[in-house]
Amino acid sequence: MPPGSLVHIGKKHTEKPVFSWFSYNAANVSQQNPVTVDELLALPRISGEIVWLDMIGVNHVDIIETIGQSFNLHPLVMEDICNTEQRPKFEEFSGYTFFTLKRSEYTHLPSYVSLTQVSIVFSPDFILTFREEASPIFDTIRKRLLSGASRARTKKSDFLVYLIIDSIVDSYFDIVEKISDEIETIEEKMIIDTDGRFVSMFQRLKRNLTYLLKALYPLREALSKLEKRDNPLLEIQTIPYYRDIYDHTVHLIESIENQRDILSGSMDVYLSSLNNRMNSIMKVLTIIATVFIPLSFFASVYGMNFRYFPELQWRYGYLYFWILIIVILIIMMFHFKKKKWM
């Protein structure tokens, strides 16, 4: 394939693309749900209103190309939208800004984190969001936009973009909490475990945390860039809000790194307790064997068939034998106790 030709990279999530079209300003708001891309492009763009186009299904590369051309997007931006293995990043182009990040979902049993991509292109006039997969993530924003309760109505497009990014970043907090609960559950269960089956559980959780960090490190970087540069598309009043998302991301990263440390620590305790259990079992068993092997030797001795064997003829030979055994036992026990082996 020549570079520059659009390819979808990643899992195919949707059969048909889903569009949602908003046009709003402080006074008016209207929502359309076009079914085909032709219907979509036929929608009028009213001057003075901000357009928010949300599309689900980034595997439809031809549709993304059509939309991209209609909004004058750079070929590389379209490529990045279709490539769901893209790292979160932020890039400025003349006239618009491109921002891509990951939404995360978590399933329990087995513990599994999935990341899907959300790409955002915004200018003062329009906001385009491209999502890999259908999810109710934007429903609250939409409802409040329509009802007029949202502060976004009276603000520039960058505020709605803030709301969008914020709703995505917030979804990570749930996951961190769920994983935290799972770690606690494992920590409780592992105390009574003896067969080492939690090692792979620890590893799976650790891998999930690393997976989340892989999405969050570049996000932090992108948000830091977004906040620092003199982005002409960002209003001075919106900057504290973006800084707030940045702080949340940093907090998330620290929490996850902390959980990873806790996991490592727990696993060390776990492995060492497994080892201690094993050792104490082996010790007891070895002590039993060690005690009886010498005793067996003496029993064997008196089972020998020598013709001239004085002890065997003694009146209390058998009694003396047991006395010998018990004396040996007592000496051994005493010695083991003294050395704290028992």
Q: Within positions 82 to 101, which residues make up the interface with a second copy, using CB under 8 A?
A: 85-87, 89, 91, 93
Binding residues for a second copy restricted to 202-221, rule: CB under 8 A: 203, 206-207, 210, 214, 218
Cα distances (Å, whole numbers) of residue 90 to 98, 114, 120, 129: 6, 22, 9, 14
Binding residues for a second copy restricted to 222-281, rule: CB under 8 A: 240-241, 243-244, 247, 250-251, 254, 258, 261-262, 265-266, 268-269, 271-276, 278-281
- The token duo for 13 is 């999530």
**Binding status of residue 286 toward a second copy by CB under 8 A:** yes
Question: Out of 3, 15, 47, 109, which residue is the one contacting a second copy (CB under 8 A)?
Answer: 3
Closer to a second copy by CB, 49 or 79: give it: 79
**Binding status of residue 285 toward a second copy by CB under 8 A:** yes
Closer to a second copy by CB, 43 or 336: give it: 336
- Shortest Å, Cβ 122 to a second copy: 17
- Whether the Cβ atoms of residue 159 and residue 83 lie closer than 8 Å to each other: no
- Shortest Å, Cβ 46 to a second copy: 26
Closer to a second copy by CB, 31 or 140: give it: 140
Interacting residues of 49 by C-beta distance below 8 A, sequence separation 6+: 23, 24, 25, 28
**Binding status of residue 189 toward a second copy by CB under 8 A:** no
**Binding status of residue 333 toward a second copy by CB under 8 A:** no
Q: Is 252 exposed, middle or buried (0-12, 13-18, 19+ CB in 10 A)?
A: buried
| Alpha helix positions (H), 21-156 | 37-42, 61-70, 75-82, 139-147
Closer to a second copy by CB, 27 or 76: give it: 76
Query: Within 10 A of 254 (CB to CB), how many other CB atoms are there?
Result: 10
Question: What amino acid is encoded at 308 in this protein?
Answer: Y
| Alpha helix positions (H), 52-156 | 61-70, 75-82, 139-147
Q: Is 77 exposed, middle or buried (0-12, 13-18, 19+ CB in 10 A)?
A: buried
**Binding status of residue 288 toward a second copy by CB under 8 A:** yes
- The token duo for 301 is 């001795």
Among 177, 205, 213, 202, residue whose Cα is nearest residue 111? 205
Closer to a second copy by CB, 195 or 230: give it: 195
Closer to a second copy by CB, 37 or 77: give it: 77
Count residues contacting a second copy (CB under 8 A)?
Answer: 95
Given the rule CB under 8 A, which of 15-23, 34-42, 144-152, 224-232 is the region that contacts a second copy?
144-152
